[in-house]
Structure 1
Amino acid sequence: MTDSRTEDIPAPDPDHLIDFRGVEFIRNGRTLVGPVDWQVELDERWVIIGPNGAGKTTLVRMAAAEAFPTRGIAFLLGEQIGRTDMRDLRAMIGISSSAMGNRIPPNEQVGDLVISAGYAVLGRWLEEYDEMDRDQAVEILEQVGAIHLVDRTWGTLSEGEKKRVLIARAMMTNPELLILDEPGAGMDLGGREDLVAYLGDLALNPDAPAVVMITHHVEEIPYGFTHAMLLDEGQIVAQGLIDDVLTSENISRAFHQPISVEKVGERYFARRIRRGGAHRK
């Protein structure tokens, strides 16, 4: 017998890596995110911005196949969440986040940490890695400016160095979708600018995966990003083409502050323009 509920669900668009339709995430009777309609196509690079508690991390956890939506329909990589093996989806999604970093053993060597992503493990045990894996890990570490860390252990790295290594690990599996949760957090100015330059080059690479990045700061948005979403209290303030979304009016609404946004070259900058306004409670 055919499930009539399945018949009522339109087929996913093959160009959409993320396709959220009326998605909500509810815990203890409180709606943390939603309802959200959101589509990410193969060649798009998205940035998600909002104040603390806006629901950014919860949204991308659903996009990373790490959390199930409470309501709505969610397709990832053409598969409907709840009707497919989440482990298969996670294998095609690269993610860099502080939560992952907290699970890494302090004595894990950086080279092994990056390589082990291809084996879907966190922390080397008895695996034997071949030369092709090592060469790929070295190439990726070099791309993110972290090749000098290859023989270091995780526990000896600074926060900025850890961010670079996590991005390298996320790229190791050649993912179809790359999710970056505050990749610039903890970096000094020079390190942040180096990372922004790398991510900008990645965004302009037509062979690179689709990218979704969370940040609190418009200054951390790399050149080459195409779309933006502003979140506040789990609700979408604005989404669409990045220049249409990152306006002074929209940013002021999302952060509950009078903020001026300027674009200089291909980068964005924001500042508060006068006293007044109330920070979101």
Structure 2
Amino acid sequence: MPNSSAHTPVTSLSEEIETHDDLLIDFRGVELRRGGNTLVGPVDWQVELDERWVVIGPNGAGKTSLVRMAAAEEFPSRGTAFLMGERIGKTDMRDLRAAIGMSSAAVQHRIPDNEVVEDLVISAGYAVLGRWREQYDSMDFARVEEILDQVGAHHLAKRTWGTLSEGERKRVILARSLMSDPELLILDEPTAGMDLGGREDLVGYLGDLALDPDAPAIVMITHHVEEIPYGFTHAMILDEGNIVAKGLINSVMTSDNLSKAFHQPIQVDRIGDRYFARRNRSARTSHRK
């Protein structure tokens, strides 16, 4: 994880720029560059307290780069970025991370195989992986039980990380991301590697979470429109680091927008509160470059 003192954004810190109190993410002209290449941007993006966003696009579109900045894990190379009202470059990134719940493969890869599930979840309050010398009270343990039960992983509490299937790991990491009662919840492909039944169970839970007025703002990355839970309000489609479309989900998740992003004719259908996509083989117009 980057050291907060090792990087500084390009934008001058002497500029007096303000953000609105109800914006958890406020990106203005934000870019992330590595080795002379632009991974994502420039992006203008605002996320409010009660919004639930899905970020979708093909491999290499810049989705993970974008949410790493939103998770206070990367400094933007250019532009101005606010998280929870604090300007990146003027605040301690560790303080911001404490207010953000993150569920991602990067977190999974750092967990030792012998880590006990309930210890992994409860230690999220100290932003560490597993218990060490921290002290917890009965309310902490009760919350662990409640959250594991909510995500369908209560039976895994005494298991070790190395014995879990990929689907079980996804549930546990989601529980950990919720443990600290975050203001912002970021989910990087939360259903990847799950079978159909497990995926639908988790998508259902995320849909219920999205409809909960007391839940944190949510930003979710996915490659597949079928994995978008009901209750999500906004969407952003990326391709090659650039925004193809963003806004209210019904206006963004269209056949035309997805065809542009994936460079082939895509047919999008909405059934109930869910989206489904397939290649439109009858289309004559090619979207390939």
TM-score (norm 1): 0.96
SS in 2 for 1:35: strand
2:259–2:287 CA contact under 8 A, matched in 1: no
Residue number in structure 2 paired with 1:272: 279
Residue number in structure 1 paired with 2:4: none
Does structure 1 residue 253 correspond to structure 2 residue 280? Answer: no
Residue number in structure 2 paired with 1:54: 61
SS in 1 for 2:268: strand
Residue number in structure 2 paired with 1:22: 29
Distance 2:16 2:288 in 1: 40
Residue number in structure 1 paired with 2:270: 263
Gap regions ≥5 residues in structure 2? 1-11
2:54–2:220 CA contact under 8 A, matched in 1: yes
Does structure 1 residue 104 correspond to structure 2 residue 111? Answer: yes
Residue number in structure 1 paired with 2:8: none
Gap regions ≥5 residues in structure 1? none
Distance 2:160 2:102 in 1: 20
Residues 219-241 of structure 1: per-residue CA shift (max 9 Å, x gap): 00000000000000000000000
Residue number in structure 2 paired with 1:196: 203
Match of 2:230 among 217, 223, 234: 223
Letter in 1 for 2:98: A
SS in 1 for 2:199: helix
Distance 1:238 1:260 in 2: 16
Residues 238-257 of structure 1: per-residue CA shift (max 9 Å, x gap): 00000000000000000111
- Within a 5 Å distance, the mapping from 1:236-247 to structure 2 comes to 236-247=243-254
Residue number in structure 2 paired with 1:36: 43
Residue number in structure 2 paired with 1:113: 120
Residues 100-131 of structure 1: per-residue CA shift (max 9 Å, x gap): 00000100000110000012111222334321
SS in 1 for 2:107: helix
Match of 1:64 among 42, 63, 71: 71
TM-score (norm 2): 0.93
Distance 2:50 2:77 in 1: 28
Distance 1:177 1:126 in 2: 27
Residue number in structure 2 paired with 1:11: 18
Residue number in structure 2 paired with 1:179: 186
CA RMSD of aligned residues (A): 1.3
Distance 1:9 1:132 in 2: 42
SS in 1 for 2:260: helix
SS in 2 for 1:89: helix
Residues 138-193 of structure 1: per-residue CA shift (max 9 Å, x gap): 00000001101011100000001000000000000000000000001010000000
Does structure 1 residue 83 correspond to structure 2 residue 80? Answer: no
1:10 is displaced (CA, Å) by 2.7
The alignment of Structure 1 onto Structure 2 pairs a total of residues equal to 276
Distance 1:175 1:150 in 2: 21
Residue number in structure 2 paired with 1:162: 169
1:278/1:252 CA distance change after superposition, 3 Å? closer
Distance 2:18 2:80 in 1: 11
1:98/1:279 CA distance change after superposition, 3 Å? farther
SS in 1 for 2:59: coil
SS in 1 for 2:136: coil
- Within a 5 Å distance, the mapping from 1:133-172 to structure 2 comes to 133-172=140-179
Distance 1:245 1:57 in 2: 20
1:279 is displaced (CA, Å) by 6.2
2:113–2:162 CA contact under 8 A, matched in 1: yes
Match of 1:73 among 54, 72, 80: 80
Distance 2:256 2:85 in 1: 35
Letter in 1 for 2:256: E
Does structure 1 residue 208 correspond to structure 2 residue 222? Answer: no
Letter in 2 for 1:188: D
